[in-house]
Amino acid sequence: MSRIVIALGGNALQANPKDTTAEAQLITARQTSETIVDLIEEGHEIIVAHGNGPQVGQIVATYEASASINENSPIMPFPECGAMSQGYIGYHLQQSIRAEMRKRGISKQVATVITQVIVDPKDPGFKNPTKPVGSFFTEEQATKLSTEKGYTMKEDSNRGWRRVVASPLPIDIVEEPIIMTLVEAGHIVITVGGGGIPVIDTGDGNLKGVPAVIDKDFASCKIAELINADLLVVLTAVEQVAINFGKPNQQNLSRMTVEEAKTYIKEGQFAPGSMLPKIKAALIFVEAKEGRKAIITSLEKAKDAIREVAGTIITK
Protein backbone atom coordinates (compact mmCIF):
# COMPACT_ATOMS: atom_id res chain seq x y z
CA MET A 1 0.00 0.00 0.00
CA SER A 2 1.27 3.47 -0.91
CA ARG A 3 0.24 6.99 0.04
CA ILE A 4 -0.35 8.67 -3.33
CA VAL A 5 -1.06 12.27 -4.23
CA ILE A 6 -2.82 12.45 -7.61
CA ALA A 7 -2.69 15.82 -9.37
CA LEU A 8 -5.53 15.92 -11.89
CA GLY A 9 -4.97 17.88 -15.09
CA GLY A 10 -7.64 19.92 -16.81
CA ASN A 11 -8.70 17.08 -19.12
CA ALA A 12 -9.67 15.04 -16.05
CA LEU A 13 -12.33 17.66 -15.29
CA GLN A 14 -13.32 18.96 -18.72
CA ALA A 15 -13.01 16.40 -21.50
CA ASN A 16 -14.30 18.85 -24.10
CA PRO A 17 -12.75 22.34 -23.71
CA LYS A 18 -15.65 23.82 -25.68
CA ASP A 19 -18.26 22.46 -23.27
CA THR A 20 -17.65 24.26 -19.99
CA THR A 21 -21.02 23.53 -18.40
CA ALA A 22 -21.32 22.15 -14.89
CA GLU A 23 -23.25 19.19 -16.32
CA ALA A 24 -20.38 18.27 -18.64
CA GLN A 25 -17.86 18.58 -15.81
CA LEU A 26 -19.87 16.23 -13.60
CA ILE A 27 -19.94 13.60 -16.37
CA THR A 28 -16.15 13.89 -16.78
CA ALA A 29 -15.65 13.72 -13.00
CA ARG A 30 -17.58 10.45 -12.94
CA GLN A 31 -15.27 9.00 -15.56
CA THR A 32 -12.21 10.27 -13.70
CA SER A 33 -13.44 8.74 -10.46
CA GLU A 34 -13.22 5.24 -11.93
CA THR A 35 -9.43 5.52 -12.16
CA ILE A 36 -9.17 7.00 -8.66
CA VAL A 37 -11.33 4.25 -7.17
CA ASP A 38 -9.27 1.59 -8.99
CA LEU A 39 -6.35 2.73 -6.84
CA ILE A 40 -8.43 2.94 -3.67
CA GLU A 41 -9.64 -0.61 -4.35
CA GLU A 42 -6.02 -1.77 -4.50
CA GLY A 43 -5.52 -0.44 -0.96
CA HIS A 44 -3.67 2.79 -1.64
CA GLU A 45 -4.20 5.95 0.42
CA ILE A 46 -5.34 8.56 -2.09
CA ILE A 47 -5.15 12.34 -1.87
CA VAL A 48 -6.58 14.21 -4.86
CA ALA A 49 -5.37 17.61 -6.07
CA HIS A 50 -6.66 19.39 -9.15
CA GLY A 51 -6.46 22.45 -11.37
CA ASN A 52 -9.19 25.07 -11.74
CA GLY A 53 -8.15 27.29 -14.66
CA PRO A 54 -11.34 27.18 -16.76
CA GLN A 55 -13.64 27.09 -13.74
CA VAL A 56 -12.20 30.07 -11.88
CA GLY A 57 -12.04 31.94 -15.19
CA GLN A 58 -15.77 31.36 -15.69
CA ILE A 59 -16.55 32.56 -12.16
CA VAL A 60 -14.48 35.73 -12.61
CA ALA A 61 -15.98 36.38 -16.06
CA THR A 62 -19.52 36.00 -14.72
CA TYR A 63 -18.99 38.67 -12.08
CA GLU A 64 -17.25 40.92 -14.61
CA ALA A 65 -20.15 40.54 -17.06
CA SER A 66 -22.63 41.35 -14.31
CA ALA A 67 -20.68 44.48 -13.36
CA SER A 68 -20.55 45.61 -16.99
CA ILE A 69 -24.37 45.52 -17.13
CA ASN A 70 -24.97 46.98 -13.67
CA GLU A 71 -22.21 49.18 -12.30
CA ASN A 72 -23.58 48.66 -8.79
CA SER A 73 -22.96 44.93 -9.07
CA PRO A 74 -19.79 44.07 -7.12
CA ILE A 75 -16.86 42.18 -8.64
CA MET A 76 -15.96 39.24 -6.42
CA PRO A 77 -12.33 39.35 -5.15
CA PHE A 78 -10.09 36.81 -6.84
CA PRO A 79 -9.26 34.71 -3.72
CA GLU A 80 -13.00 34.25 -3.11
CA CYS A 81 -13.44 33.13 -6.74
CA GLY A 82 -10.73 30.53 -6.15
CA ALA A 83 -12.55 29.31 -3.04
CA MET A 84 -15.79 29.01 -5.02
CA SER A 85 -14.07 26.91 -7.68
CA GLN A 86 -12.55 24.62 -5.03
CA GLY A 87 -15.97 23.98 -3.55
CA TYR A 88 -17.74 23.36 -6.83
CA ILE A 89 -15.08 21.08 -8.30
CA GLY A 90 -14.70 19.29 -4.99
CA TYR A 91 -18.44 18.69 -4.84
CA HIS A 92 -18.35 17.01 -8.26
CA LEU A 93 -15.36 14.86 -7.34
CA GLN A 94 -16.79 13.93 -3.92
CA GLN A 95 -20.09 12.87 -5.41
CA SER A 96 -18.44 10.89 -8.21
CA ILE A 97 -15.85 9.11 -6.07
CA ARG A 98 -18.45 8.25 -3.43
CA ALA A 99 -20.84 6.82 -6.05
CA GLU A 100 -18.08 4.71 -7.62
CA MET A 101 -16.95 3.38 -4.22
CA ARG A 102 -20.53 2.46 -3.28
CA LYS A 103 -20.90 0.63 -6.59
CA ARG A 104 -17.87 -1.50 -5.66
CA GLY A 105 -18.83 -2.00 -2.04
CA ILE A 106 -16.05 0.20 -0.64
CA SER A 107 -17.02 1.85 2.64
CA LYS A 108 -14.93 5.03 2.87
CA GLN A 109 -15.66 8.73 3.26
CA VAL A 110 -14.49 11.44 0.85
CA ALA A 111 -14.23 15.13 1.68
CA THR A 112 -13.01 18.35 0.11
CA VAL A 113 -10.86 20.61 2.25
CA ILE A 114 -11.04 24.24 1.13
CA THR A 115 -7.31 24.81 1.24
CA GLN A 116 -5.29 27.97 1.90
CA VAL A 117 -1.68 28.01 0.75
CA ILE A 118 0.81 30.44 2.24
CA VAL A 119 2.94 32.41 -0.21
CA ASP A 120 5.70 34.97 0.25
CA PRO A 121 4.53 38.55 -0.42
CA LYS A 122 8.07 39.21 -1.68
CA ASP A 123 7.88 36.36 -4.21
CA PRO A 124 9.28 37.63 -7.56
CA GLY A 125 6.02 36.57 -9.22
CA PHE A 126 4.23 39.57 -7.67
CA LYS A 127 6.57 41.95 -9.50
CA ASN A 128 5.70 40.46 -12.88
CA PRO A 129 2.14 39.06 -12.98
CA THR A 130 1.70 36.71 -15.94
CA LYS A 131 -1.39 34.54 -15.35
CA PRO A 132 -4.39 35.80 -17.37
CA VAL A 133 -7.79 35.47 -15.68
CA GLY A 134 -11.34 36.40 -16.59
CA SER A 135 -12.79 38.27 -19.55
CA PHE A 136 -11.32 40.15 -22.50
CA PHE A 137 -11.62 43.94 -22.50
CA THR A 138 -10.98 46.83 -24.85
CA GLU A 139 -7.95 48.99 -24.15
CA GLU A 140 -10.24 51.74 -22.83
CA GLN A 141 -11.98 49.34 -20.43
CA ALA A 142 -8.62 47.90 -19.36
CA THR A 143 -7.29 51.37 -18.56
CA LYS A 144 -10.38 52.10 -16.45
CA LEU A 145 -10.06 48.81 -14.52
CA SER A 146 -6.38 49.46 -13.94
CA THR A 147 -7.12 52.94 -12.59
CA GLU A 148 -10.21 52.10 -10.53
CA LYS A 149 -9.39 48.59 -9.31
CA GLY A 150 -5.60 48.58 -9.42
CA TYR A 151 -5.57 45.57 -11.75
CA THR A 152 -2.57 44.73 -13.90
CA MET A 153 -3.89 44.50 -17.47
CA LYS A 154 -2.04 43.09 -20.47
CA GLU A 155 -2.86 42.65 -24.13
CA ASP A 156 -3.44 38.95 -24.91
CA SER A 157 -2.39 37.76 -28.39
CA ASN A 158 -4.38 40.44 -30.24
CA ARG A 159 -7.59 39.13 -28.67
CA GLY A 160 -8.06 42.00 -26.25
CA TRP A 161 -6.87 43.02 -22.79
CA ARG A 162 -7.08 40.76 -19.75
CA ARG A 163 -6.28 40.98 -16.10
CA VAL A 164 -3.10 39.15 -15.10
CA VAL A 165 -2.15 37.99 -11.61
CA ALA A 166 1.00 36.65 -10.01
CA SER A 167 2.00 32.99 -9.81
CA PRO A 168 4.01 32.64 -6.56
CA LEU A 169 5.49 29.44 -5.21
CA PRO A 170 3.77 27.70 -2.26
CA ILE A 171 5.54 27.90 1.10
CA ASP A 172 3.17 26.04 3.42
CA ILE A 173 -0.37 24.66 3.56
CA VAL A 174 -2.55 25.97 6.37
CA GLU A 175 -4.89 22.97 6.57
CA GLU A 176 -2.12 20.33 6.44
CA PRO A 177 -2.81 18.99 9.99
CA ILE A 178 -6.49 18.49 9.10
CA ILE A 179 -5.59 16.80 5.82
CA MET A 180 -3.14 14.48 7.60
CA THR A 181 -5.74 13.56 10.24
CA LEU A 182 -8.29 12.66 7.55
CA VAL A 183 -5.77 10.63 5.53
CA GLU A 184 -4.56 8.68 8.57
CA ALA A 185 -8.18 7.95 9.49
CA GLY A 186 -8.59 6.26 6.11
CA HIS A 187 -10.61 8.94 4.32
CA ILE A 188 -10.09 10.20 0.77
CA VAL A 189 -9.19 13.90 0.70
CA ILE A 190 -9.56 16.42 -2.12
CA THR A 191 -7.26 19.37 -1.47
CA VAL A 192 -5.20 22.28 -2.91
CA GLY A 193 -7.81 22.76 -5.62
CA GLY A 194 -6.46 25.07 -8.32
CA GLY A 195 -3.19 25.25 -6.39
CA GLY A 196 -4.99 26.41 -3.25
CA ILE A 197 -6.15 29.88 -2.21
CA PRO A 198 -3.01 32.06 -1.97
CA VAL A 199 -2.72 33.77 1.41
CA ILE A 200 -0.04 35.78 3.14
CA ASP A 201 0.77 35.94 6.85
CA THR A 202 -0.06 39.47 7.99
CA GLY A 203 2.42 39.21 10.85
CA ASP A 204 -0.17 39.22 13.64
CA GLY A 205 -1.18 35.57 13.28
CA ASN A 206 -3.87 36.31 10.71
CA LEU A 207 -4.01 35.39 7.04
CA LYS A 208 -5.02 37.52 4.07
CA GLY A 209 -6.03 36.28 0.63
CA VAL A 210 -4.12 37.74 -2.31
CA PRO A 211 -4.98 37.81 -6.03
CA ALA A 212 -2.67 35.15 -7.43
CA VAL A 213 -2.65 31.67 -8.97
CA ILE A 214 -0.41 28.98 -7.51
CA ASP A 215 0.58 26.34 -10.03
CA LYS A 216 -1.37 23.20 -9.06
CA ASP A 217 1.63 20.96 -9.75
CA PHE A 218 3.79 22.84 -7.22
CA ALA A 219 0.93 22.87 -4.70
CA SER A 220 0.44 19.12 -5.23
CA CYS A 221 4.16 18.61 -4.63
CA LYS A 222 3.98 20.68 -1.43
CA ILE A 223 1.08 18.71 0.08
CA ALA A 224 2.76 15.44 -0.98
CA GLU A 225 5.89 16.54 0.89
CA LEU A 226 4.03 17.64 4.01
CA ILE A 227 1.97 14.47 4.41
CA ASN A 228 4.99 12.29 3.55
CA ALA A 229 3.50 10.67 0.46
CA ASP A 230 5.33 7.83 -1.24
CA LEU A 231 4.32 8.80 -4.74
CA LEU A 232 3.30 11.92 -6.64
CA VAL A 233 1.28 11.20 -9.79
CA VAL A 234 0.85 14.14 -12.15
CA LEU A 235 -1.84 13.45 -14.74
CA THR A 236 -1.79 15.26 -18.05
CA ALA A 237 -2.91 14.85 -21.66
CA VAL A 238 -0.05 12.56 -22.75
CA GLU A 239 1.00 9.09 -21.63
CA GLN A 240 4.71 9.86 -21.35
CA VAL A 241 7.12 12.77 -21.18
CA ALA A 242 8.99 13.26 -24.44
CA ILE A 243 12.14 15.03 -25.57
CA ASN A 244 12.27 16.66 -28.99
CA PHE A 245 8.50 16.84 -28.71
CA GLY A 246 6.67 17.16 -32.01
CA LYS A 247 9.84 16.63 -34.06
CA PRO A 248 10.76 13.65 -36.28
CA ASN A 249 13.23 12.51 -33.61
CA GLN A 250 10.72 12.70 -30.73
CA GLN A 251 11.63 10.23 -27.99
CA ASN A 252 9.18 9.16 -25.30
CA LEU A 253 10.71 8.46 -21.89
CA SER A 254 9.59 5.59 -19.68
CA ARG A 255 12.11 6.46 -16.96
CA MET A 256 14.10 9.53 -16.04
CA THR A 257 16.51 10.30 -13.23
CA VAL A 258 16.72 13.67 -11.51
CA GLU A 259 20.04 14.43 -13.21
CA GLU A 260 18.69 13.49 -16.64
CA ALA A 261 15.68 15.71 -16.08
CA LYS A 262 17.88 18.65 -15.09
CA THR A 263 19.93 18.18 -18.26
CA TYR A 264 16.78 18.17 -20.39
CA ILE A 265 15.58 21.34 -18.64
CA LYS A 266 18.87 23.09 -19.48
CA GLU A 267 18.41 22.00 -23.10
CA GLY A 268 14.96 23.63 -23.12
CA GLN A 269 13.19 20.34 -23.82
CA PHE A 270 10.05 21.12 -21.80
CA ALA A 271 7.54 23.87 -22.58
CA PRO A 272 7.33 26.49 -19.78
CA GLY A 273 3.53 26.66 -19.80
CA SER A 274 2.82 22.93 -19.81
CA MET A 275 5.37 20.19 -19.11
CA LEU A 276 8.10 22.22 -17.38
CA PRO A 277 6.23 22.92 -14.10
CA LYS A 278 5.23 19.23 -13.91
CA ILE A 279 8.87 18.16 -14.25
CA LYS A 280 10.07 20.74 -11.72
CA ALA A 281 7.42 19.73 -9.18
CA ALA A 282 8.34 16.07 -9.63
CA LEU A 283 12.02 16.84 -9.05
CA ILE A 284 11.33 18.80 -5.85
CA PHE A 285 9.29 15.90 -4.47
CA VAL A 286 11.74 13.15 -5.45
CA GLU A 287 14.85 14.97 -4.24
CA ALA A 288 13.42 15.82 -0.82
CA LYS A 289 13.55 12.25 0.54
CA GLU A 290 15.16 8.97 -0.42
CA GLY A 291 12.90 6.33 -1.99
CA ARG A 292 10.26 8.67 -3.37
CA LYS A 293 9.03 8.46 -6.95
CA ALA A 294 7.03 10.71 -9.21
CA ILE A 295 5.04 9.69 -12.27
CA ILE A 296 3.82 11.80 -15.17
CA THR A 297 1.20 10.13 -17.34
CA SER A 298 -2.36 10.29 -18.64
CA LEU A 299 -5.48 9.54 -16.62
CA GLU A 300 -6.10 6.41 -18.71
CA LYS A 301 -2.64 5.02 -17.94
CA ALA A 302 -2.45 5.97 -14.25
CA LYS A 303 -3.10 2.47 -12.91
CA ASP A 304 -0.52 0.91 -15.25
CA ALA A 305 1.98 3.67 -14.48
CA ILE A 306 1.80 2.95 -10.75
CA ARG A 307 2.63 -0.67 -11.66
CA GLU A 308 5.58 0.84 -13.61
CA VAL A 309 4.45 -0.45 -17.01
CA ALA A 310 3.36 2.92 -18.43
CA GLY A 311 4.01 6.64 -18.00
CA THR A 312 7.29 8.35 -17.18
CA ILE A 313 8.73 7.35 -13.80
CA ILE A 314 11.10 9.86 -12.18
CA THR A 315 13.53 8.65 -9.53
CA LYS A 316 16.48 10.13 -7.67
Q: Give the catalytic positions in this structure.
A: 10-11, 131, 216, 278
Q: Which residues, including other chains, have CB under 8 Å from residue 52's CB and lie 6 or more apart?
A: 82, 85, 86, 89, 193, 194, 195, 216
Length in residues, the chain: 316
Q: Which residues contact 313 (CB under 8 A, 6 or more apart)?
A: 254, 255, 256, 293, 294, 295, 305
* Residue among 27, 5, 4, 7 at smallest CA distance from 15: 27
Contacts of 172 (CB under 8 A, 6+ apart): 117, 118, 222, 226
Q: Is the dihedral of CA 76, 202, 199, 211 positive or negative?
A: positive
- Crossing angle between the packed helical segments 78-103 and 22-41, to the nearest 10 degrees: 50
Q: Residue 50: enclosing H or E segment and its boundaries? A: strand 45-50
Return the ∠ at Cα 119 (arms to 113 and 122), rounded to 5°: 170
Query: Strand, coil or helix: what is 2?
Result: coil
CB 212 within 8 A of CB 165: yes
Q: What are the residues whose beta carbons fall under 8 Å from the beta carbon of 68, sequence distance 6 or more?
A: none
